[in-house]
Structure 1
């Protein structure tokens, strides 16, 4: 009797041990994914413009390059060219030498954190040396969200909405075209509702309403399709696998709270290839910069959505083939030796 009961007792004990080990492991992993990039936030090849005659900008550039690896310097002929580069999202700001003295151009809409950092790096240094630098916010963050907190906070809800959509489609047993249409419809509604809240009610987005709704919907679809597609190929564990990628890597590596160039390498680059990072970058472009530099992140989100929906269709086709092959194999006569 004791021998027979041993396997039954061993099963719950092993599960308990697994829980005791996995929970701290997941907690440590979550702390690493979220806390490490935040603790190591600093400029790394941050695109910054310098405008004016070379002889006049040489001293400024020399001071900026003292912080080795902090800034990636771009040269422009005059203030107009530097402003255009900021509006096109080629640089986060620019130091311009004018007849009135040096001037700092920033874009708090691109990143309030970076705009503040540039003010400290440029105007703070000038003040310490007894000079003064006038600051001009070329593309300002909306008055309703000057710190960009609301936009940053939108990354997690969109990721959760996408994960929920993919999981529900899988658990309800939807497959093929029906699953794809459900994912697209849910993402479209999420985009409309999110745009209504963020743009029409809160006023934290100030671009084209429909472009913002499309961006929010595409971000949700990229995650939802990836979750459903992974589950279609791997089964229910696929939901957890993609949820892990989105929540533990995509969200903290997105750079939404600061900028991709402010995160440790290669975290910032990796984050831009995942839906949360590409989605937040695209949303800034359409909400504040008239769609400038939107092509790259839009293609990445589309890539995730298309591959995810393709995996849903492939998973459905494989299941159909297995069902068709099963009865055929059973009806096949056995060979007599």
Structure 2
């Protein structure tokens, strides 16, 4: 009796090792290029582009400043007129504009909200300095919504991208390995989302000093963000298996993360990419946390609805996957 010999699959035998090595190297190189583009290109191409900007003050000075502004930063700002500096400040606090200029015969005052984005406030201040030089007007800076003194650069909120993605991906794996019951898995994810929101808010408030009086709003926003990541991933896993979870997790890590714009806000990212990032859970969660932390929730409704939509979609996917598994088990039993 002869023992059958083991041979390589036909596809491998037909392709020389050198060709396989070259093909795999090229594929991995393409993936590396894609990752570099996803993580670096958005930041490299970021900047002011049609940012809503308010302007108020003496009509003659306003006209002069508008002309100088377009020369100093063409296409960077979409200017909206306000009747007074107070109305302009209200609009900044409501997040309908990112900042503004108040022009008068004796000087130019730039109104910013560093809590909204230090990148935008810094860029607007630099632009105002250029406008002041062009119009021979002295420039003063007024920070309408400043960051806390303990975190003047906004690093606390700006660094939430990775904790958000971690909080959405890892618990799905952990609770699936711990519980066989779908009910307990989802209960675990909901519990962790609430606990994670409180933990993050506590660290930001009591350790980093990144927030002052908005502990519970930030905790709620962060919990909603974690749930909007975790529950859809659990739904994908239940509906499509490990493949669905892997695709979803990779999308959040390699697409949602770099396009979130949490440190600078989505408005600072290239046009289109920033909008896409705000439709994904990391970007929407970052926007909602910032609104809750510094603007009393102003401008956060869209982000809250986006996150809620992701949670609902996750539950629907989970229900579809559970029903499909039940039918499959019934067929096997019969």
TM-score (norm 1): 0.89
Partner of 2:56: 51
Task: Select between 45-54 and 287-296 the one with higher mean Cα deviation.
Answer: 45-54
Matched residue SS, 1:292: coil
Change (3 A) 1:308 1:266: same
Q: How does 1:1-337 map to 2 (within 5 A)?
A: 4-7=6-9, 10=12, 20-66=25-71, 67-98=73-104, 100-127=106-133, 130-172=136-178, 174=180, 176-328=182-334
Q: CA deviation at 1:19?
A: 6.0
Q: Which runs of 5+ in 1 are unaligned?
A: 329-337
Q: 2: distance between equivalents of 1:108 and 1:39?
A: 21
Contact preservation (8 Å) 2:108, 2:132: no
Contact preservation (8 Å) 1:175, 1:313: no
Task: Select between 91-100 and 17-26 the one with higher mean Cα deviation.
Answer: 17-26
Q: 1: distance between equivalents of 2:101 and 2:231?
A: 43
Change (3 A) 1:314 1:169: farther
Q: 2: distance between equivalents of 1:164 and 1:91?
A: 37
Q: CA deviation at 1:56?
A: 3.1
Q: 1: distance between equivalents of 2:63 and 2:220?
A: 44
Task: Give the paired residue count.
Answer: 327
Task: Select between 50-59 and 31-40 the one with higher mean Cα deviation.
Answer: 50-59
Q: 1: distance between equivalents of 2:30 and 2:218?
A: 38
Q: 1: distance between equivalents of 2:24 and 2:194?
A: 38
Q: 2: distance between equivalents of 1:19 and 1:239?
A: 24
Matched residue SS, 2:74: coil
Task: Select between 52-61 and 105-114 the one with higher mean Cα deviation.
Answer: 52-61
Q: 2: distance between equivalents of 1:64 and 1:135?
A: 16
Q: CA deviation at 1:27?
A: 2.2
| 1:28-85 deviation line (CA, Å, top 9, x unaligned) | 2211101101111121111111112444311212222343321111111000000000
TM-score (norm 2): 0.90
Matched residue SS, 1:134: strand
Change (3 A) 1:207 1:292: farther
Partner of 1:333: none
Q: 2: distance between equivalents of 1:115 and 1:317?
A: 51
Q: 2: distance between equivalents of 1:145 and 1:124?
A: 28
Q: Which runs of 5+ in 2 are unaligned?
A: none
